[in-house]
Amino acid sequence: MNRRNVILSVLAVLGVGGWALSSSMSPNSTPVNPLANAANAQTADVDTSAIQDMMIGNPDAPVTVTEYASFTCPHCAAFHAGPFKQLKADYIDTGKINFVYREVYFDRFGLWASMVARCGGPDKYFGIADLIYKGQPEWTRAGEPAAIAGELGKIGRLAGIDAEALDACLKDAGTAETLVAWEKQNREADDVTSTPSFLINGTKYSNMSYSDMKDLIDAAIDG
């Protein structure tokens, strides 16, 4: 998936339809558009310090692997269905590496999925992300935005987030705007042009086989 001008593309697809996801969570709530004021935003001036990197593994490990991925990217879903599970067993669960996941937003649906995953907090994030990736063929093809929103809401509730908390997360326009700025700052700083992309101790790599990734990680550990 090639890089796009993320803020402009998100705004373009949002149009005037409003924040359909939050309205699907609670029919009595007032839909809001969390990016309504982002058109003229200067993302470099947005304070993104409140946005937390999602990570698992050993934060003191000598090797950090950072993945840039989009919840709407099929190649990212394929990575999480296979190679990531091997990576987790071999390196994350054993404390050999620290693994950082950073979202890329190609569209509003990827942003919505990110907000659902983050709504459960760091402890639930990767479990919810796994459910989002597993269900990607279904929720991304559910049809109208409201239907996609409904499917993402089901995932959130399946993960144990109650409807009221989920609705509050998805109506948080300030967090949505800050997430978009945070994503853009990270992506541009690391020159990420496709998903999934990986940084191994700061060196960027494009998508690869697990065996190739393993060789690079082992070399970094032995380094």
- Top pLDDT among 21 and 141 is at 141
Residue-averaged pLDDT of the chain? 84
User: Given pLDDT bands bounded at 50, 70 and 90, which one contains residue 42?
Assistant: low
* pTM to 2 decimal places: 0.83
User: Given pLDDT bands bounded at 50, 70 and 90, which one contains residue 76?
Assistant: very high
Whether residue 154 has pLDDT greater than 90: yes
Strands 203-206 and 97-103: unpaired
Domains and CATH numbers, the chain: 52-222 (3.40.30.10)
State the Cα angle at 176 between 179 and 116, rounded to 5°.
Answer: 95
Entry field: residues in the chain:
223
Condensed to tens digits (0 to 9), the pLDDT of residues 102-128 reads 999 988 999 999 999 999 999 999 999
- Top pLDDT among 160 and 43 is at 160
pLDDT at residue 43, as a whole number? 62
| Cβ proximity of 32 and 79 under 8 Å | no
| Cβ proximity of 120 and 128 under 8 Å | yes
| Cβ proximity of 127 and 54 under 8 Å | no
Whether residue 22 has pLDDT greater than 60: no
Phi–psi pair at 143, nearest 5 degrees: 115, -125
pLDDT at residue 45, as a whole number? 80
